[in-house]
Amino acid sequence: MSIEVNGMSVETDENGYLVNLDDWSEDVAVKIAEGEDIAMEEGHWDLVKF
């Protein structure tokens, strides 16, 4: 499986997790969150960046 982020294909496994952790970026996090119907807000980013 894969997701499209900024015109690039990012590989995920059958559960939606990144295959390669080096592919992680804030844009990827937003795309994954959107797939879960989550709008990333300041509180979310505080936890991610902790």
* pLDDT for residue 1: 86
Q: What is the pLDDT of residues 11-39, one digit of tens each?
A: 999 998 999 999 999 999 999 999 999 99
Question: Beta-carbon neighbour count of residue 1 at 10 Å?
Answer: 11
Sequence-ordered list of residues with C-beta below 8 angstroms from that of 38, at least 6 positions apart, any chain? 44
* pLDDT for residue 31: 95
| Whether the predicted pLDDT of 45 surpasses 90 | yes
Domain 2-49 has CATH 3.30.1420.10: yes
Q: What are the domain boundaries of the chain? A: 2-49
Q: How much is the pTM?
A: 0.84
Q: Greater confidence, 1 or 38?
A: 38
